[in-house]
Structure 1
Amino acid sequence: MDTIIMTIVVFSGISAVLAAILTISDRTVNNYGDVTLTINEDKNYTVKGGTSLLDTLRNEKIFIPSACGGKGTCGYCKVVVLEGGGPVLATEKPLLTKEELDNYTRLSCQCKVKQNIRIEIPEDLFNVKEYAVVVEKMEKLTSTIKKLTFNLGEEEINFKPGQYVQLKAPAYEGNDEEVYRAYSIASSVNDKHTLELLIGYTGGIATTYVHYHLKEGDTAYINGPYGDFYYHEGEGPIVLAGAGTGMAPLISILQYMADNNIMRDTLFFFGARTMEDLFLLDKIKAFEEKLNLKFIPALSREESPEWKGERGRVPQAIEKHIEDGSNYSAYLCGSPAMIDSIVEALVKKNVPPDKIYYDKF
């Protein structure tokens, strides 16, 4: 018995020594000191080495989109690393195309800053800011979707209709992780001091924070705006299509059209399961009265005979309501599978592929 106890003590001692050695090694070997971060050849920053490029940029108040919180799963945080980024990691390759790899594109959350590094990012990202906002109002729209209204106080935000922001979900009871998640803006570009988001509950870290921890009067943190999905000026008819919280950027686009008296013929297809999943109907009705807009909800699981509208999915409704889409442009927001099916339906109706804009989430 004494021999067993002594063996355990010795083994524990060795383990403790090894742990101490590893800790000291991590603090010394991985202490990269100050390095130079060069952005777009003309902006130089002295930064501490040892963290991800995403976090390094964030520490300098340069915000790169990252919907997954830096886990390397969303593929949003792409930057061009010209020098000093080290080899591309296996965690990055599934999210980078061959063309992107050939052009030195990296996921900034996976690229660690260990030495002087040169990168390129879109100049627009220097206009992205972080805002401390107050939750002015939380409104339940459906059993799973809430509309949040944030007050920016004296700050102003400038964005294009269709773009999105990132909301920070801090650690809370039952969750030790801080994450950022992307949500499309639902409000008017003219409301410089107010921001509206539609957030559906999915059981994830951020949506749990919003639906069960965030309260009216609380301070929250957002950064943005981001995104290449936004309204393009033109004269032809428009298709809007979405489902669930994918309505948010489409509402912002409609608000922009209403604010600027843009009278383009517009078909607004919206997919939902049942009548209970429809929301903001009064707002959409007001748009119909002001604009050349026709709202076409398509319900896939509604059994009530009271429903007189379209049944099935959005592609079926498109098949029915569009004859020749050759002069249309389209704005789509929803899940990848839904977007792909709608794009296919629109192309069959001769909508030019280069006039189909979408945001997959």
Structure 2
Amino acid sequence: MRVLVEPLIVSLVSFLLALIIVIVDAVVNNYGEVKITVNKKKTMTVKGGAPLLFTLASQGIFIPSACGGRGSCGVCKVKVLSDVGPYLPTEFAYISKEQMKENVRLSCQVKVKKDIEIEIPEELLYAKKFQAVVEKINNVTYDIKELTLKLIEPKTIDFKAGQYIQLSIPPYGKINEVTQRAYSISSPPSENERIQLLIRLVPGGAATTYVHNYMKEGEKVQFTGPFGEFYVRETDAVMICVAGGSGMAPLRSIIIDLYQKNVEREIWYFFGARAMKDLFYVDFFMELEKKRKNFHFIPALSSPDPQDRWNGEIGLITDVLDKYLKGRIDQSKPKEGYLCGSPGMINACVQVMKNNGISEEKIYFDKFA
């Protein structure tokens, strides 16, 4: 009899503890309805308790977040004009002292517990959620896929060349929740019924593993956007563009867009790779170089394989960039930098550009950490 009673008592106690936790959570975390005021002109009533990032998304306002709201990218910044409590330890790595003075917060780390007033860039009010179908998947290298998404609803997208979207990846395998990741658009804005993305396989990456191993043509997907400040400034400055790997995407969009619009700016495009197997779109850009006298394409390999028989530039892309800035590009002309790649590559290129007289305010990039 004792053998039967003891498990029943344990089960009853566990049930009562679970019930108490549920009740306490409902009472303590029941914030009821709260109001969010955006840019002093739009107010919405929402259910309190969730992070600001997801609460805004439920109301059709999409704040960019390269990590999908996990607090590991620092992208989802908003200016909070009301008191929402002290900064969390998770925010310190991404918010500078100057930003703290302006009450900039990570929207994924701020919970909506009471009425709140925020300020966001005006263009974010026009970002949308899109339904699309995977029209084509191409392998451009052994670890980079070119993904073509045909829009279903809305049927077209308006964006600036260089901007990015956030792709939603459904649960699969051991991944039991939707994953969101940021990817730059590689196609030009003129092709507004579809977009192309370049997605490199990251070992262990939830989103890239799905795209490379699970995604099929004909599959329906969702994404939000467009986002980003990485677009061409309308000046006459020489454009110094540097990319590596899938960082090719926004620069391809930018360069195609400029020439479709017959903008004849001087452009130097440096593309870094390890070996020839990591290069792609080379024929396209070399053909463009023949047609456009102001366009210069410089691919460089850091460690070419013997069988590559490579006759082009060899070395780190930063060293090649430095050589050209010092000796082959007119130093008297104003210049702007456009970069896309890993944070390490971007930081190194920024330093090279600054050392060669390009001010940091004239160097543009979206850093996906």
- TM-score normalised by the chain length of structure 1: 0.95
In the TM superposition, what whole-angstrom CA distance separates every residue of 1:12-53 from its partner, at most 9, and x where no partner exists?
A: 432331111001221232122111111111111011111111
Deviates more, 1:127-136 or 1:336-345: 336-345
Cα distance between partner residues in 1 of 2:196 and 2:264:
24
Cα distance between partner residues in 2 of 1:42 and 1:345:
43
Q: Shift in Å at residue 295 of structure 1?
A: 1.2
* Change over 3 Å in CA distance of 1:325–1:150 after alignment to 2: farther
For residue 210 of structure 2, give the secondary structure of its aligned residue in structure 1: helix
Q: Shift in Å at residue 7 of structure 1?
A: 5.9
Q: 1:314 aligns with which of 301, 314, 317?
A: 317
Cα distance between partner residues in 1 of 2:77 and 2:276:
39
Given residue 213 of structure 1, which amino acid in structure 2 is its aligned partner? Y
For residue 83 of structure 1, give the secondary structure of its aligned residue in structure 2: coil
| Alignment map for 1:22-33 (pairs within 5 Å) | 22-33=21-32
Cα distance between partner residues in 2 of 1:286 and 1:150:
26
Q: Structure 1: state its 5+ residue gaps.
A: none
* Change over 3 Å in CA distance of 1:127–1:290 after alignment to 2: farther
Cα distance between partner residues in 1 of 2:172 and 2:252:
31
Query: What residue number does 2:60 align with?
Result: 61
Query: What residue number does 2:205 align with?
Result: 204
Given residue 199 of structure 2, which amino acid in structure 1 is its aligned partner? I
Q: Shift in Å at residue 293 of structure 1?
A: 1.5
Query: What residue number does 1:294 align with?
Result: 296
Q: Is the 8 A contact 1:325 1:346 kept in 2?
A: no
Cα distance between partner residues in 2 of 1:39 and 1:81:
10
Cα distance between partner residues in 1 of 2:177 and 2:287:
41
Query: What residue number does 1:353 align with?
Result: 360
In the TM superposition, what whole-angstrom CA distance separates every residue of 1:204-242 from its partner, at most 9, and x where no partner exists?
A: 111112111211111111111111111112223221101
Cα distance between partner residues in 2 of 1:283 and 1:49:
52
For residue 148 of structure 1, give the secondary structure of its aligned residue in structure 2: strand
Query: What residue number does 2:185 align with?
Result: 185
Q: Shift in Å at residue 195 of structure 1?
A: 0.5
Q: Shift in Å at residue 94 of structure 1?
A: 2.0
| Alignment map for 1:23-102 (pairs within 5 Å) | 23-102=22-101
- Aligned pair count? 360
Cα distance between partner residues in 2 of 1:259 and 1:133:
25
For residue 322 of structure 1, give the secondary structure of its aligned residue in structure 2: helix
Matched, 1:342 2:345: no
Query: What residue number does 1:278 align with?
Result: 279
Cα distance between partner residues in 1 of 2:237 and 2:60:
40
Q: Shift in Å at residue 84 of structure 1?
A: 4.6
Q: Shift in Å at residue 9 of structure 1?
A: 5.1
Q: Structure 2: state its 5+ residue gaps.
A: none
Query: What residue number does 2:140 align with?
Result: 141
